[in-house]
Amino acid sequence: MKVKQGLHSYAVWLCFFFCGSSLGLVAQPNADFSGQITKFDSTFAGIGPPVYFLPPPKSEEELLDDRYAAKEVDSAVVEEYVDRMKYYHRLKITGDRAVMAKYLPVTVSQASSVEGRLLTEIGQMERRGGTDALADLQNRLAMEYVAVGACDFAMEFFNKAMATKAQVNRVADRDAIAHNLAVIYEYTGELAKARNLRQEMYDRAMRSGNNAQQAYALMELALVKAKEGFSLEAERDIIRKVVPLFRRARDEVGRATAYRTLADIYTLQRRYPEAQWFLVQAKSIVDKEGLSELLPEIIFNLAETKKHSGNPRVAIEEYKVADDLARKDNMIGMQLAIQDALGNLYHQAGDYEGAALALNRYDTLKNILFRGTGAVAN
């Protein structure tokens, strides 16, 4: 009997619970999240449409989540641009100051067609018969095509410039343009062509007997080997040959660059601790010798390796330092990559204030680069 009474009480309790829950669920839509409905008779059943309650407005955090979801759409374009500019930074300009500068202010490059100006100058130089200067302009035009992603045109004009330099026997300039052509082959994934060019340049450097030239040529060759999958051979070339050559040449810029390149090779293999170690070695040389022009990329790469190693807090601090350096040098592409990374790290950590600030700056920089609007504080 007691058992039956207990079961009966339990059934009554369940009925009360579910009925109460149902009433709560039914009543929930009657909540006015807008705060605009001041008079409402829930018992009215006359003619007219039923009252419709709007859903609650999104919070600032939810709105920011939506913005970050939308950012994924153009992230691929931004990443491709930043990656392409890394290759552009490696290109070498030839000739004297009459050739257009490698880096132009954004306002200048957007105000007129750089391609059009260079083509006009090339036409004028062809009519004047200035062979050497013509090659310099062809090389600079090819560089501009790399900057905008027109790789076929870039290869065409690099080859024209190299052939023109060969006519006037400008060996150093020809090698600089060959370097540029190898860079674009590397960018487009034509690694066999890049390796052949690098090997030719290394062979010429060996015949010259110049330690620094040999080191630079072998370092670039090693990077191509690593991208082809021969990482161990590439590492050995840099550690056992390139670095000692730079030491003998007393070329500290070269030695720092060699360590940075070695870090790139380890990064390709996702061996981030080794990459970090060599980046720290490069930074030590840069700090000691005052080679400030190399510092932004080294710090940025350090931040990247920290991020990939699962150390977001340290990565954020490194990105902040890199951002300060990039602003001083007006490196807008790097600033864009930094704000992209910072925003994602802040967002993942739930720091919505930091994420919002980073995203706002990211949008500003993106608009400057791709739409030519707005201004950026450096």
DSSP character string of 18-57? HHHHHHHHHHGGG--SSS------TT--SSSPPP-PPPPP
Indicate if 291-365 has the same CATH topology as 114-188.
yes
User: Exposed/middle/buried for 118, CB within 10 Å: 0-12, 13-18, 19+?
Assistant: buried
Residue 43 has pLDDT above 60, yes or no: yes
Residue 44 has pLDDT above 80, yes or no: no
Closest to 93 (Cα-Cα) out of 144, 130, 149, 128? 144
What fold characterizes domain 291-365?
1.25.40
Confidence at residue 28, expressed as pLDDT on a 0 to 100 scale:
45
Confidence at residue 52, expressed as pLDDT on a 0 to 100 scale:
65
Residue 64 has pLDDT above 70, yes or no: yes
Range with the lowest mean pLDDT among 2-6, 287-291, 296-300?
2-6
Q: For residue 10, give both structure tokens.
A: 């339990």
The answer to whether the beta carbons of residues 279 and 259 sit under 8 Å apart is yes
**CA-based Rg of the chain, rounded to a whole angstrom?**
31
For residue 240, give the 3-state DSSP assignment. helix
The answer to whether the beta carbons of residues 294 and 279 sit under 8 Å apart is no
Integer Cα distance of 2 and 349 in angstroms = 56
Share of the chain above pLDDT 70, in %: 81
Q: What is the mean pLDDT of residues 285-313?
A: 95
Match domain 114-188 to its CATH number in 4.10.240, 1.10.3470, 1.10.12, 1.25.40.
1.25.40
The residue among 199 and 329 whose pLDDT is bigger is 199
Closest to 103 (Cα-Cα) out of 93, 95, 115, 116? 93
Residue 53 has pLDDT above 80, yes or no: no
Integer Cα distance of 352 and 349 in angstroms = 8
Domain boundaries, the chain: 114-188, 291-365
The answer to whether the beta carbons of residues 322 and 299 sit under 8 Å apart is yes
Q: What is the mean pLDDT of the chain?
A: 85
The answer to whether the beta carbons of residues 109 and 144 sit under 8 Å apart is no
Amino acid at 45: A
The answer, as to whether pTM is greater than 0.85, is no
SS (H, E, C) 300-367: HHHHHHHHHCCCHHHHHHHHHHHHHHHHHCCCHHHHHHHHHHHHHHHHHHCCHHHHHHHHHHHHHHHH
Residue 349 has pLDDT above 80, yes or no: yes
Side-chain-side CA neighbours of residue 142 (13 Å): 31
Please report the sign of the dihedral spanned by the C-alpha atoms of residue 348, residue 354, residue 357, residue 358.
negative
Q: Give start and end residues of each alpha helix (H) in the chain.
A: 2-27, 60-89, 106-111, 114-128, 131-148, 151-167, 171-188, 191-208, 211-228, 231-236, 243-249, 252-268, 272-289, 295-308, 312-328, 332-349, 352-371
Report CA dihedral (320, 324, 325, 331) to the nearest 10 degrees: 100
Confidence class for position 231, pLDDT limits 50, 70, 90: very high
The answer to whether the beta carbons of residues 147 and 84 sit under 8 Å apart is yes
Q: Kindly give, in sequence order, each residue whose CB lies less than 8 Å from that of residue 325, ignoring residues fewer than 6 positions away.
A: 295, 296, 299, 331
For residue 112, give the 3-state DSSP assignment. coil
Amino acid at 64: L
Cα 374–Cα 298–Cα 185 angle in degrees, nearest 5: 80
